[in-house]
Amino acid sequence: MKRLSTKPTVYLIDGSNFSLRFWERTGGSRDGLEGWFLQWLSEVSRSGALRASCFRVVFDGPYRSGGAGGSSITVHYSEGETADEMLIERGYFMQTEGIRAIIVTSDNGLRDRAAAEGVKTMTCEAFQALADAELRKESR
């Protein structure tokens, strides 16, 4: 994939997995990781290619404050089930309803389970690289 589609898409994001990409910026605190990630995702959600899309971020564990996203970003916490289960369930439901959805995770097990259900996936690294390219393009 060379660029992100401009078609409306629901990105189901493994928040705990993806936020680890921001480790160097935060010193490693969970709240810091999640905060940096959501700040970056908010910028990305306003980019031209992704303006028509929405983002459902699922973090492992109980609710915690600071999970605000943006108008097209909804943050969920897995509470009593795993984030993986929530992502698979939502991805499968959207796929069966004809909604364009992609699970974004670098967890190979989750990606394999999604593929078995016919749900498209993308690694966090691929999504971040393509999204950062969109941000760079717009800053010119």
Q: What is the pLDDT of residue 127?
A: 95
Domain assignment present for 93: no
| Range(s) of the domain holding residue 68 | 10-86+98-107+116-139
Domain assignment present for 60: yes
Token reading at 30? 């969970």
DSSP label of 67: -
Token reading at 26? 């935060």
Domain assignment present for 19: yes
DSSP label of 62: S
Q: What is the pLDDT of residue 53?
A: 96
Domain assignment present for 4: no
The three state secondary structure string of 58-79 is EECCCCCCCCCCECCEEEEECC
The stretches in the chain having pLDDT less than 70 are 1, 24-31, 66-70
- Terminal CA-to-CA distance of the chain, rounded, Å? 22
Residues 6+ apart with CB under 8 A from 100: 7, 8, 9, 10, 94
Query: Domain total for the chain?
Result: 1
Domain assignment present for 91: no
